[in-house]
Every structure is written in C-alpha cells, then in structure tokens.
Amino acid sequence: MAIPKSFIETLRLSSDVEAIVSSYVKLKRQGRNLVGLCPFHSEKTPSMVVYPDTQSFFCFGCGAGGDVISFIMRIENLDYVEAVRFLAQRAGLTVPEGQAEDRLSQIKPVILEINRLAAHFYHHILRSADGNAGLQYFTERGLTPQTMVKYGLGYAPPGWNTLRDYLRAKGFSFEQMYDAGVVNRGREGSYYDSFRNRVIFPIVDLRKNVIGFGGRVLDDSKPKYLNTNDTPVFKKSRNLFSLNFAKNHAEKRLILAEGYMDVIAVNQAGFENVVATLGTALTPEQARLISSYTKEVVIAYDSDGAGRKATDRAVGLLEEAGITAKILTMRGAKDPDEFIKKFGAQRFRMLLEDAGSVTAYQLGVIREKYNLDTPEGKSTFLTEAVRYLATVHSAMEREVYAGELSAQTGVLRETVLSNIELERKKNFRRDKKKEWAGIASSQDLYRDRVNPQKATNLREAKAEEGILAFLFKNPDHLTGILSRITESDFVTDFNRMLFFGMIRRIQGGEELTLSGFAEELSPEQMSRLAEIVNRDLPMSEEILSDYIHILKDAPLRNLSRHVAEMSGDELLDAVERLRQKKK
C-alpha cells in the first residue's frame, strides 16, 4: 500500500523518537542526545544513541539505526506498513488509504484563509469594548497603538465558542477549523475555541500569510503561553516570530530573543532585526533558516537558569550552521523588554555593540561558580576553565583568554597555556582512541553488505559520506554542490543512490528526513544512513571542499593504481576518458 508522504510527515511529527524509544529502553541524557542499552544486542555499557535533532537512533555496538519507523520495525518485528500502522494507532491517527495528498493540497489555502479571518477577529476584539482586558495588558507593557497594529495583536475573549461561531457564519466547517488549530475537539465530538481569555500574537510567514497564533494568559494560570499545534501550514520548529520584518533590515546581524514580548519591545525600540523561536528551544531547522539571512547572531535570552541552558543549546546549533554567536549580558534586568523599559533604547544599542564572544560568556558562567578568594576556588576554577579553553579551536583566542585567566588568578600565563595544551593533547588522544576503536569494531570495512565498495575505496567513501552528511543538514547548499560535482563523481553505488535520493527530494520541495527514505531502504541501509547523517564531525564549507576534491581526484588515483597492469592502448584510452571528464 502506498502511504501518502504527507501522512508519514504527520506521523513523524506525532511520534517523537525519544518518547518512543524510551518506552522500550531506559535513556540517559548526554548533552543534546540520549544514550541507552541497545535492545538489539546484548551489552552492559550503553552504546545506542538517540538523536532528537534528526529524530533518529544509532547503535555503535551492532550498527542498528534509522528513524522511529525503523526502530519499531526492529523491536516489534514488523514490516514497514505494519510499523506505520502501529505508530499511527499509538498516536491516535488513521492511516489513509490513498487520497491524503489531494486533501492536503486542498486544505492548505482553506487554513490560511481561516487564520487570516481569525487574526482580523482577534484584532477587532482588542479594539472593542470586549477587548479592554487585552488592551490594558499591552498598554501596561508599554506597547503603542502603532505597534499593536504593526504586529496585528489581538485578544481572544473568555467565551468557549466566539471565534468558532464567527468562522461558522463565514461558511467554514468545524473540521476545517480543527485542521487550522483554532478550535479543539471535545470528548463527545463538540468543538470549542483553542484560545480563550488570552492576548494573541499572530505568527506571519515570509509571504505575509498568518500561519498560526501564540496566546498569553492575563493572570497566573497555566500554561502561560499557548501556541497553535503543528498544522499543514505551520511547524513550530521551522518558523521564527517576526522574521517577516527582520529579513529586510539593513543590519547584517540578527538578535535572537526568547519570546514574543521581547521581540516586540526590541522592535518598537527601533531594532527590526530581532526574531524569536515559537515556544521551543532553537532547532536545527531554525538555525539553518537564520543562516540564510545572516552570519552573526546576538543571543538575547533571559539571564535566568533556563535562559542560560537555552543559550548553550543555541550556541551549538548556530555554530553548526556556520553562524558566529555573541551573547548579550544584561545587568539590572532579566530580559530585553525590562532592560529597554529601565534604561532606554540607546543603552540597549550600546549593550548590543558590547556583546561578548561565546568564550567570554562561557568563562563568565564558570567564574560565577567559584570563590577566587580561596586557593580551592582558584584551583577548581582554573581546572574547569582550562578544560573549556582546550575545546576552543582558535589558538589566538586561547592565548588571549589564558592571559585573562592569569590576571584573575595570579597564575603565570605560560602555566595556563601549558595546561591548556596538555588538555588538548589528552582530548586528541581520547578522540583518536575512540575513532580507532570505532574502526576496529565496525563491520563496514569487512563483509560490508550495505556498501561493499567501501573497503577498496575507503578514502572516497568517507568523503562521499561527508558530503551526504553536509547536504542532509544543509539542503539549501544543493545548487552550490551540484555546480561542483554530480552523481557520476560518486565512487560507491550505495552512496550515489543516497545522493540521488537527497537531490530528488530537495528539488521536489520535500524536507530531508530519515523517514522520507524509510519505505525504499532496507533496515540495514537505513542504519547506515542514520550513521552517516549523525556523524559527530565539524561541518563547514572548507571541509566540504576537501571532500569534493577527494572525489574529483579519484579517477586519477585509480588510474595511477592500475597503470602498471595496462597496455599502451588501454592507458591512452583511460587518459582520454579522464581528459573528457575534466572538461
């Protein structure tokens, strides 16, 4: 049975890999990922990693891997369609029998129209007597009438069916409203407004379509913020609030704030280059979206513990996307909104210009944990700071901050640098040991059934995998990659097949996900794909160029490898083919 791609995408979004795997395996968080004992082979030390960012898993012990569908296929011993049905039943979804794609193309414009009318409805209520509570909230938060109009802010009244009845009178069915996320469905089949007694923030995409809403309570009830659920036109993880304003700004950097009110306050103060995530921590998709508009981001998150955790996550994702991150350090205010109210827009501009590097921020966080007036405090501070600086790639940056550590602690700068280098050597040995252990234990070099050509073309195959990993995480680079290499440059058939599959999906406007390959790849092939896309290696344009050069040089390497075995005519023929290919 052919299952519509749109349903697989809905199923994937409804079946979080962490939630599914953790119902079978006890997982422990390790940085951004999770680890646990692999259920597919006997082990005492956890070697299975779950990657929430790519919604996949991979076991470094037995090589099992893939997406959430692959996991269910293995652990429940089901085929692909049975696994989809299993997950659909678990998520409360019905597997369509074939007409879902047509319905999806028809429902999208309907949802956008419902959202447009809902935004007008909420804004009209805000400006009427029924919206006094919402208007008072925005006014007390310092927003001007012009700002309220600019962002289309609104108010959802306390009633259970005011928007529902308004849209019904416009000719929309309850089911269409439910698809748009503006109403919820009750246990007995009734429908009621999703947002009630909340101020409303319309979420607008780059084409000026209203794709969803955020709503904030006016009291202390929970949840404080409520966002539209994912719909056919809205995915929280792939959109940014106020990007429709920020994208056209002359500033070459973006300010990344934590919430709606921070963004609006900063924008009102004269800084249009500000965006925020939509009720979630920054995602890889959002980082890639940001990289399309800027290469520098100033992170202006709240200064509390949760804000610091969110900052740490954002820094890593932005760096992976090739973006330089700077950290805004606010004194005397918990967030940009409060800072601007207290100190004004000019002081905030000065704060932006003084935003520090990630290294300065991280060392500051470490510094706050210790009392440098005691020998023990100095020692433990230096130990942790040296460990962090050993991970900094720039030698110049390490030297600068070694000097600062020396000034703070009284320890000689040379001593600090010496300890940093010792730590770097220790890290290098550990990483190499881990790498060789992986090579020694992996079976892909011996009896590799998935990519049998890899063993005799190891250098080229590794380069191919690097290109695939880069493209999977940076699909917007496809045009640039195709201007330098094509499928014919790939040496191994399996990697060539994956490359072609990624090209086809990107050019067809599809999102690159492991689930998109699940139906056409075997479990073993899915495991290999999961291993490739989750490679824990640096990704950059320079490294990509190195991989491409390896593939471009492969014909010459292969020629030199076999030249002694060739006759004169064979050699001339090979050289001519190589010359034609280089054209």
User: Please, what is the angle between helix 68-76 and helix 523-533, to 10°?
Assistant: 140
Q: Which CATH number do you get for residue 83?
A: 3.90.580.10
156-160, 306-310, 458-462: segment of lowest average pLDDT: 306-310
- 73 and 55 inside one domain: yes
pTM for the structure as a whole: 0.58
Residue 433 has pLDDT above 70, yes or no: yes
At which of 324, 350, 376 does a domain end? 350
At which of 234, 265, 300 does a domain end? 234
- 465 and 547 inside one domain: yes
Q: Which CATH number do you get for residue 104?
A: 3.90.980.10
Residues of the domain holding 111: 100-234
**Domain presence at residue 550:** yes
Instruction: Please check whether residue 514 is in contact with residue 469, taking contact to mean a CB–CB distance below 8 angstroms.
Output: no
**Domain presence at residue 157:** yes
pLDDT, tens digit, for every residue of 40-49?
A: 876 778 889 9
Mean pLDDT of 533-541: 78
- 415 and 525 inside one domain: no
- 336 and 278 inside one domain: yes
**Domain presence at residue 356:** no
At which of 208, 234, 260 does a domain end? 234
For 157, the 3-state DSSP assignment is coil
What's the pLDDT at 303?
74
- 86 and 122 inside one domain: no
- 230 and 247 inside one domain: no
417-426, 516-525, 566-575: segment of lowest average pLDDT: 566-575
- 215 and 269 inside one domain: no
- 568 and 506 inside one domain: yes
C-alpha closest to that of 65 among 522, 540, 510, 473: 522
Residue 442 has pLDDT above 50, yes or no: no
Give me the number of domains the chain comprises.
5
Which residues lie below 8 Å from residue 424, measured CB to CB, with a gap of 6+?
390
- 368 and 294 inside one domain: no
**Domain presence at residue 171:** yes
Residue 116 has pLDDT above 90, yes or no: yes
**Domain presence at residue 367:** yes
What's the pLDDT at 563?
46
How far, in Å, CA of 451 to CA of 68, rounded?
A: 23
Q: Which CATH number do you get for residue 546?
A: 1.10.860.10
- 110 and 184 inside one domain: yes
CB count in 10 Å sphere of residue 357: 17
Mean pLDDT of 454-472: 90
Mean pLDDT rounded to a whole number for the chain: 86
Which residues lie below 8 Å from residue 172, measured CB to CB, with a gap of 6+?
110, 114
